[in-house]
Amino acid sequence: MLRWLRGFVLPTVACQEDEDSFGYKILFQNLDRDGDGLVDIVELQEGLRNWSSSFGVNSGAEIFKAGNTNDDSGLDFGEFMQYLKDHEKKMRLAFNSLDKNNDGIIETSEIIAALKSLGMHISEAQAKKILQSIDGDGTLTVDWDEWKYYFLLHPATNIDEIARFWKHSTIIDIGESISIPDEFTEEEKRSGDWWRRLVAGGIAGAVARTCTAPFDRLKVIMQVHSTKSRRMRLIGGFEQMLKEGGIRCLWRGNGVNIFKIAPETALKIGAYEQYKKWLSFDGAKIGIIERFISGSLAGATAQTCIYPMEVLKTRLALGKTGQYSGIIDCGKKLLKQEGVRTFFKGYSPNLLGILPYAGIDFAVYELLKNYWLEHHATESVDPGIMILLGCSTLSHTFAQIATFPLNLIRTRMQAQALEEKGTTTSMIHLVQEIYYNEGKRGFFRGLTPNIIKLLPAVVISCVAYEIVRQHLELI
């Protein structure tokens, strides 16, 4: 449809308003498959699929919501035409903001500069991919007509939104809560969509954590009880847990793991926005380095505030059947028997792991995504959900492997009071003890179940997020 519209309808109506209305009328009739004078959401989504493969899965819903001013079952021609006229004005502003030298065309250097100002660094080859997806005459430049035709039915309203598919969305939490937070647009803040996204992300994270909780508990047990002389295997570990407490014990400690999602996410997002303000100067857009630093500091802030819950989760996961009746009972017993300091055991290695985890996760994700765009992208620069899902899973995996020794040390320190000797070992001494008694492999006890749970956790959280988002009418 896009090529047909470029070649026949729009070029003939570029001069006069009446001719514009004629072109919009033909486009409207093409979308209105049943001829009832209304374009409903199904017809609009089908039309967008025929129009271009570059639109997101929610593009139709976004256009429908913006254009349907009387909130009925479909867009009539008046609403449709008004939406296109209003949208064209926004796209003209976006085009002018890109066209820095005011020569009427957009070149690769201007694409690179625009995305750099948003903290997105791309190569010249990637900028050419963007231009090629819009360019209709093969000149590797984009004029206003080409820009207008391409974005005529695109729901983006400004350059920030046009470039949003380059972002790494981390609103979905799979249990390793030290990644860089997602950012919200001004429109999302004004409309209230930001809190709906947080709720959807929290529910998706809770579902993913619950589904993979048995692997998480096995990881903790293997980190503490699996040694060089008494190794615990994957199957054997599950058999031991089932023998000790039955099927329900596989989810021991998952309650506190879910309970801490809301406060941790709220703290992280709030701290992230504040750190971004402190690191930006004169209201300028912050770059990728500033975003990374802000995200790391936000993760450290959130982890500091909720860290006692991490200790409770570990103790509940290691507890025997009947030892604790619940989260509150566990907290009371730890406070009475070991004092306040026990709630911050292992804090140092936990804090040390935040920066390298976030850095590796972010760097590997960008590397993989940009490699795909460089070598495999054809007509569209949107990698698509499956590619992003694969990049996210691999980036989490690399980050987990690189920082796992610190994770193990943290867990060992949190569980020290369970040992009969009752002594507290410093982080340095614990590292030496693990190395001399268990060797280098000792730092990776429990890595297997941790890696196994990653892919299903990401997939489950993404599916749950999409389902919840639809129920919350989040587009």
Residue 15 CA to residue 6 CA, distance in Å, equals 14
Indicate whether 382 pLDDT > 70.
no
pLDDT for 197 equals 76
Count Cα neighbours of 403 within 13 Å in the Cβ-side half-sphere: 25
Neighbours of 436 (CB within 10 A): 9
Dmax (CA) for the chain in angstroms is 88
For the entire predicted model, the pTM comes to 0.67
- Name the DSSP letter for residue 215: H
- The predicted-structure confidence for 286-330, as pLDDT tens digits, reads as follows 666 777 788 788 888 988 999 999 999 999 999 888 889 889 999
Indicate whether 231 pLDDT > 60.
yes
In whole numbers, what is the pLDDT of the chain averaged over residues?
78
Indicate whether 107 pLDDT > 50.
yes
Indicate whether 332 pLDDT > 90.
yes
State the average pLDDT over residues 423-428.
77
Residue 280 CA to residue 117 CA, distance in Å, equals 13
pLDDT for 173 equals 56
Q: Please, what are the domains in the chain?
A: 2-166 (1.10.238.10), 186-471 (1.50.40.10)
Q: Which two tokens stand for residue 441?
A: 């492999």
pLDDT for 11 equals 44
Count Cα neighbours of 321 within 13 Å in the Cβ-side half-sphere: 11
State the average pLDDT over residues 333-361.
88
Lowest mean pLDDT segment, chosen from 8-12, 153-157, 462-466: 8-12
**What is the Cα 125 distance to its own chain's centre?**
25
Nearest-10 crossing angle of helices 77-98, 59-67: 110
Residue type, 29: Q
pLDDT for 328 equals 92
Mark out the alpha helices in 52-107 (DSSP H runs): 59-67, 77-98
Confidence of residue 5 (pLDDT cuts 50, 70, 90): very low
User: Does residue 374 sit in helix, strand or coil?
Assistant: helix
pLDDT for 349 equals 92
Lowest mean pLDDT segment, chosen from 147-151, 277-281, 391-395, 419-423: 419-423
pLDDT for 334 equals 92
The DSSP H or E segment spanning 448 is helix 447-452
CA–CA distance from 115 to each of 316, 338, 388, 440, 472 (Å)?
A: 47, 53, 19, 43, 31
Percent above pLDDT 70 for the chain: 76
- Phi/psi for 75 (5° steps) reads -90, 125
Residue 379 CA to residue 53 CA, distance in Å, equals 8
Q: Write the burial class of residue 200 (CB in 10 Å: 0-12 exposed, 13-18 middle, 19+ buried).
A: buried
Confidence of residue 252 (pLDDT cuts 50, 70, 90): very high
Residue 448 CA to residue 403 CA, distance in Å, equals 14
Lowest mean pLDDT segment, chosen from 207-211, 339-343, 417-421, 427-431: 417-421
- Phi/psi for 106 (5° steps) reads -110, 130
- Listed ranges 105-109, 217-221, 264-268; the one with the highest mean pLDDT: 217-221
* 348 strand-pairing partners: none
pLDDT for 307 equals 93
Percent above pLDDT 90 for the chain: 15
